[in-house]
Structure 1
């Protein structure tokens, strides 16, 4: 971190239905839990509606006296040109299509009344892993991989400098692609096959964890995940694997099977659940302003 700059930065996590903003101390590597903003966002709204919602969450934490020095790191889903700040999210993503081909960095900076050089974007999966390396369970490791399991499947790798998006969601796996096996959609499909009904969320399955058929679903998920992570970790020479996302909350139901399968590929590579939770992306995004 440049000593001439403030030791604080704002970390922003852009989700499909909300935006979360936190104040991160880059020296102590902690987030101020008393200064968190979480606002709903209509990701299907117009560009004006989206930017108004984002600015409405970010502005309260900027402080008028610090506008000229505030540093903002934003964890953003792709496809996105993170350096230029241009979105390439189109209608196939079913969110934020109003931002397509717009220079979001320029537009947001103008809305906040700051220079666009005060805003940096980084892939959201990479921010998750960066947060865990910077201040979480992967701190001290030189090589790591991370995976977020939720409505989609995010992947990232770290080789000792900063985390990067691994973009393995579309990688061929079994008879489809990885994201079809490691997201909420997979559980919904399995539930539909078993009951003929729609699944409201993975939490609904967790509540039925005493049922043997539910245990079987989680075990199958864990088995597939172990195979996928074994290949991923081997190719990246990972020293640790970190899992995050909403599905990771139910890791006790699938992680033993994942670890068992993983051991067939790699020995002595721990697989850990995120210890920062939702704060990992915020801290990771803010840490893009950290310099040794």
Structure 2
């Protein structure tokens, strides 16, 4: 068996996706990609079976019997020991306090030491640093701009959860202002019109001046947040991911203006790996 070939997994509230990743070549073996739905409200055995089934299917597609497995999973979670701490989140309630690492390793026929869990936001940044937009950076920050705000810091070769969503900002916390919820709620408050999602809001530009102005304001808010919360660690780059980042032509110039006004230089790149970033990151953490 080629020890550089490992499994990277991304576990969400309703799915698991997995693929083999060649750590030496920094490539994802596309034909081994598997994505399956998971009912996170079921019992322990059903959830572990679903996860194991996805990983096993990936291994079969790559004609590999066993190898190390890296898993990106949301918190709260004891990543070192592989114990779920998720409670009252409408997902994986049955796993609370369970040694997931031991159960899943046993199901896969590998040792616990071959199974690694990592925060999903950290895996996004780890993946982009490993094989995406961050390969030229050495000390970076990652933000995922979507329904909520995710953050991670990459220091000394490893990404860790930045946990900045709840950082004090303006009259509340960062996520109050840097999320899809803020964009949708602000548009409704200013126009009396609902938009289903951020993509729909962006599609109104340039015909809708209110939508255009709102996105530019979002960019300035992002710049203010970067200056206030991200520069103390002296990063050499910022990587933006998440669905809102796809609309960067509509707001990022404003972010850069704020940085320039504060005489701050921070290269900003848009994530390149999409939903595969967490898989790359989970696998890359095994290197």
TM-score, normalised via structure 2 length: 0.92
Contact 2:20 2:59 in 1 (8 A): no
Which residue is equivalent to 1:260?
257
Equivalent residues, number: 285
Write the distance in 2 (CA, Å) between the matches of 1:266 and 1:164.
28
Contact 2:259 2:265 in 1 (8 A): no
Residue-by-residue CA offset, 1:101-154 (whole Å, 9 max, x unaligned): 221212222332322222101111111111111112211322111011112211
| Offset at residue 266 of structure 1 (A) | 5.0
Pick from 182, 187, 194: which aligns with 2:190? 194
Cα distance, 1:197–1:39 mapped onto 2, change above 3 Å: farther
Which residue is equivalent to 1:127?
123
Question: SS where residue 127 of structure 2 aligns?
Answer: helix
Cα distance, 1:142–1:265 mapped onto 2, change above 3 Å: farther
Which residue is equivalent to 1:57?
54
1:75 is aligned to 2:75: no
Point out where structure 2 has 5 or more consecutive residues left out of the alignment: none
Cα distance, 1:220–1:42 mapped onto 2, change above 3 Å: farther
Q: CA RMSD in A?
A: 2.0
Point out where structure 1 has 5 or more consecutive residues left out of the alignment: none
Write the distance in 1 (CA, Å) between the matches of 2:277 and 2:114.
21
1:229 is aligned to 2:226: yes
Residue-by-residue CA offset, 1:171-230 (whole Å, 9 max, x unaligned): 111111112222222123123323445442211112212211111221121111111122
Contact 2:237 2:269 in 1 (8 A): yes
Cα distance, 1:241–1:266 mapped onto 2, change above 3 Å: farther
Which residue is equivalent to 1:285?
282
1:164-179 alignment, distance < 5 Å:
164-179=160-175
Write the distance in 2 (CA, Å) between the matches of 1:159 and 1:182.
24
Contact 1:22 1:35 in 2 (8 A): yes
Residue-by-residue CA offset, 1:253-285 (whole Å, 9 max, x unaligned): 111111111223453321110112222111111
Pick from 101, 110, 116: which aligns with 1:105? 101
1:181 is aligned to 2:172: no
